Structure 1
């Protein structure tokens, strides 16, 4: 029976000699949620996960799992299980033996361990495949064996370190869906590390975007995508055009902005009147013939047809905009003059 636990970091610092990987990290993860640590290489997400697993110890601060202080406990005394990027399956053991291994090592009788291992394989959709060796399984099936091996230990927290990085794009989509559905069905707490924004958006209750060992922004996937707090978040959580604008007024939570003569209303967030920056998603831009009366002018300098959408680069004179048009049947030719308008969603004031 899985008993999901909370995770708390209190002013955690981790240094390696003169280098500080995590300067001062405080966060809380609620029981039964899947939270993703997302960020570029070197941002501190893997170090954070390793401290939670007990593979590294903080230089200072506290870590609690299920309200228990585990800061200095070794990995084998923490109620967590980890799914590694490399799967770490024993090649000479069957899938059933791989899943049962941790149970038997913890002192469970062989018969009961194998019975629970069978149930674990059924949970991940591999019932009846316990006799197969890892080499006889696909990459996605091997990953599910690794998940089953971690889950049968009934941890308070399941840790997943770049679990899909060895799979091809199509298989990644399928397995991430399976992991998310399993987490929601069983209700375990999961901490998931990835550098893939699409993966984070697809599986998470909450995303913690890390930068330089700290939290750049934390929130639900849609909140981070629709209301990025900075240019870094806007660009990291999917592509964004960052342009200058002027906030003309703020009233009842709505801001009226001016961008190159185009006026537009949008949620104000924390914006105040005056100069600001605007993050515009590529699919939030409308292109119209140059004779249109609204919008501001631009010139198409690049056009690419990609099957289900067309990508443009548009030069406005002051900046270049990346535009994605999902409705165009035929690409507009290079050198076409267009008018640029904004849609209601996919635009946020960031500073």
Structure 2
């Protein structure tokens, strides 16, 4: 194998980036460990793409410090950084063959044509496109074009691979397939990767860690499971898991367990850093259990206002004594009709206290 990779770390230390009077990034600090795939996730305008562009050297901080490996790159141009970027638009040259597109960065940097050709072929093999080298980009599907863009970045043997919304031009089924390929490839070669997306499911599927950004700062950082099951705020709970946010009361505490009143329903949850009194509770849609109400029913009272069949699941909107709830139910063969009175209970997982700030 002629391609060799040395995974590098990435560190931001109190990095700020302003455009005129606007703070695009405000005193952001984080470290990405070598060999990890870390996703920058957040709504449009949160600062994630600006952060990626500063790693690439396409933007420079107003203040703060950026390290790649043991080298400070804060003010270095993109050409002096050991990174490669996969763009949202693929940016393939339509008049060049696939092999020529993959080799372009190598030949532009002065590598001889024989070595560039060898590495181009190896890059195409890595992404499952061996034998496609003489085709034109127009002869490939969208997913294949995306893999060519990844191969072109990989043959430069970067310390860090940057991916800017790499799947946004693909349909839903192909997005799932290509994201699995990217993740498998990243793990296979042990490369450090920084991945930007606004798609929560995509971030959960591919990441070792996720950095969620909002309004130019980091809202929360952690593993996919940590962010989904232990959101730090109402913003994270809503953005990551589409959670229902309801008022509840901690009525008793025993050790690390809280007894919680959600309307007339009682349950027990991990306390975390909360105390007795009124709290905000994040309830994931799949953690809500519905059953038709009768005289023996327990739980919250509710009424189904909307029911939507989506093949593998039912989605409901239910009016309840704690407000309107969004519910995901996988028992599609036991659908509940609109207008039905229901009893509402919660599973043991999928509920967490969240801070409102």
Q: How does 1:21-100 map to 2 (within 5 A)?
A: 21-100=24-103
CA distance in 1, matches of 2:147, 2:253: 51
Alpha-carbon contact 2:263-2:321 (below 8 Å) kept: no
- 1:116–1:152: 8 Å Cα contact kept in structure 2? yes
Match of 2:253 among 243, 247, 250: 250
SS in 1 for 2:333: coil
The equivalent residue for 2:303 is 299
Which residue is equivalent to 2:349?
345
Displacement of 1:289? 2.5
Residue 208 of structure 1 corresponds to which residue in structure 2? 211
8 A contact 1:254–1:268 mirrored in 2: yes
| TM-aligned CA deviation for residue 318 of structure 1 | 4.0
Q: Distance in 2 between matches of 1:145 and 1:283?
A: 38
The answer to whether the 8 Å contact 2:14/2:63 transfers is yes
Could you say what the CA RMSD is over the residues aligned between the two structures, in angstroms?
Answer: 1.1
Q: Distance in 2 between matches of 1:87 and 1:188?
A: 20
Matching residue of 1:151: 154
Aligned pairs (5 A) from 1:95-174 = 95-174=98-177
The aligned counterpart of 2:188 is: 185
TM normalised by structure 1 equals 0.98
The runs of 5 or more residues in structure 2 that have no matched partner are none
SS of the equivalent of 2:241 reads: coil
In the aligned structure 2, how far is the partner of 1:252 from the partner of 1:218?
A: 27
| Unaligned segments of structure 1, at least 5 residues | none
1:184-239 Cα offsets, whole Å, 9 max, x none, are 00000000000001110110000000001110011000111111111111111131
Task: Tell whether the 8 Å contact from 2:52 to 2:162 is kept in structure 1 after alignment.
Answer: yes
Equivalent pairs, count? 351
- C-alpha contact (below 8 Å) 1:304/1:331 kept by paired residues: no
Q: Distance in 2 between matches of 1:317 and 1:275?
A: 16
Deviations 1:102-155 (A, max 9, x none): 111112110011001100000000011111110111111111011011011110
| Aligned counterparts of 2:216 and 2:199: Cα–Cα separation in 1 | 18
